[in-house]
Structure 1
């Protein structure tokens, strides 16, 4: 998504489509683009923004992809 597109632009586009009678069939999946807010733009420009494909399933301690890759999240118990 272009850097100059933010949430206001997306909301304006959606509202114009609604007023034109165009149904919103996308739901949450249609909102997968990252809007370039300053913190995201800064991370991208520093080379530390990494996009991973959506995971396929939730496992006991994280998520997994179809190819067998997993990402495990280890929560720290409260002190």
Structure 2
């Protein structure tokens, strides 16, 4: 089950949920948000290097909370 963090610090590999309870119950960070949100999150996720290459000061988001805020979906 995927998490909202990369598998390593310098790549865009999708990381996995590390808590056994969440794996058993299927309650990862995207469980209530759906596949479309998951796909959008990871298709546009940028590492620091990718953001610099795109001439951005920093990635627009680095975790699910900042993604939802970036998209205007968070309070």
TM-score normalised by L of structure 2: 0.31
Please say which structure displays the higher CA radius of gyration.
Answer: 1
TM-score normalised by L of structure 1: 0.30
